[in-house]
Amino acid sequence: MITKSWDTFSTGQTNTRVLATYSPKQLYWSVGASGIQIGVNQGPQKVLDLLTTEMNSTADDMMDTFGTGLYSDGTGTSNKQLTGLDAAIDDGATTTTYAGLLRSTYTTWVSNLDDSSNAITRAEIAASFDAATIGNDVPSLGVTTRAIWATIEGLAMGTITFFNPLPGLGREYGTVSRDGVTKGQGGELGTAALFFRGRPIVPDEKCTAGYFYWLNEKHIGLAKWSYPDFPGYRTMPNYNGFCFTGLKIPTNQDATVGQFLFYGQLVTDACRTHSYMTGKS
């Protein structure tokens, strides 16, 4: 509030908050094996550690399903997917209502969009970054596709850095040591990591084609719920919203089966602090 000289203070409470409503989603992945499978894969002659193999395969399925959901609008698989970035970060033209609030009513619920179709430029990356900046509250992570990441890599590779090795200099290449370099130059092509204004930009194969996101990790995350301790279930500890029910033997099958569960939702408390670009290459 602004006052001058002997102005009277306003003592009324200002309403600065509004409640958003998020519906939790439930995800599950089953892992199991039949009695005969376990029987022939035990003892000194076993072909493989069956349950370990099944667990690893299920872990891959979990990452695939969860990764797809993080970029969805929540309507996939009969509205069972996570309500991901496609809904959380929007300018109001596609997802008009998010978490029960109309974007046309609340400006902080509107994300900045650059929908020009072209090869991404450094100026566009900067403009999108600035659009999601409020004072000292700035984006902390850029996420995009591998194709767009490669374009950005090309922007950063306008010059090549050469290394002039000293006589006898050894350099590690992966696990192979190449020693005894005495002359010539070593050229470094390609980058392992990209940063813009000190913030990392990472590629994700699950990211929607043509998209680039600037995310502010202070204002986005996963809301998680714990798995209930049902009677008769061997409930395992809850790890960041994930839990395992334990292996159970059905009453009418020669098998054992358990489920990995996740109760949660992707949430943000300020869509304005994130921005996105579409149609990029």
Q: SS3 string of 15-64?
A: CCCCCCCCCCEEEEEEEEEEHHHHHHCCCCCCCCCHHHHHHHHHHHHHHH
Answer whether residue 232 is part of any domain. yes
Q: Which residue has the higher pLDDT, 219 or 44?
A: 219
Q: Say yes or no to pLDDT of 82 above 60.
A: yes
Predicted confidence (pLDDT) per residue in 22-74, tens digit: 888 999 899 888 888 888 877 766 656 888 888 889 889 999 999 999 999 99
Answer whether residue 197 is part of any domain. no
- In this prediction, residue 192 has a pLDDT band, given cuts at 50, 70 and 90, of confident
Output the CA torsion 41→46→49→51 (10° steps): 0
Answer whether residue 234 is part of any domain. yes
Which amino acid is residue 114, in one-letter code? D
Q: Domain limits at 92? A: 25-147+203-277
Q: Specify burial of residue 41 (Cβ count, 10 A radius: 0-12, 13-18, 19+).
A: middle
Answer whether residue 174 is part of any domain. no
- Count of the separate structural domains present in the chain: 1
Q: CB-side exposure of 137: number of CA atoms within 13 Å?
A: 12
Answer whether residue 195 is part of any domain. no
**Residue ranges of the alpha helices (H) in 103-194?**
122-131, 146-156
Predicted confidence (pLDDT) per residue in 155-185, tens digit: 987 655 555 555 544 544 444 445 554 445 5
Tokens, residue 193: 């990591």
Q: Find out whether 227 and 149 touch, Cβ atoms under 8 Å.
A: no
Predicted confidence (pLDDT) per residue in 104-118, tens digit: 999 999 999 999 999
Please give the pLDDT value at position 160.
54
Separation between Cα atoms, residue 240 and residue 102, nearest integer Å: 30
Answer whether residue 177 is part of any domain. no
Answer whether residue 125 is part of any domain. yes
Q: Specify burial of residue 154 (Cβ count, 10 A radius: 0-12, 13-18, 19+).
A: exposed
Q: Find out whether 111 and 274 touch, Cβ atoms under 8 Å.
A: yes
Answer whether residue 155 is part of any domain. no
Please state, in angstroms and as integers, the Cα–Cα distance from residue 2 to each residue in 6, 9, 168, 237, following that order: 12, 9, 70, 53
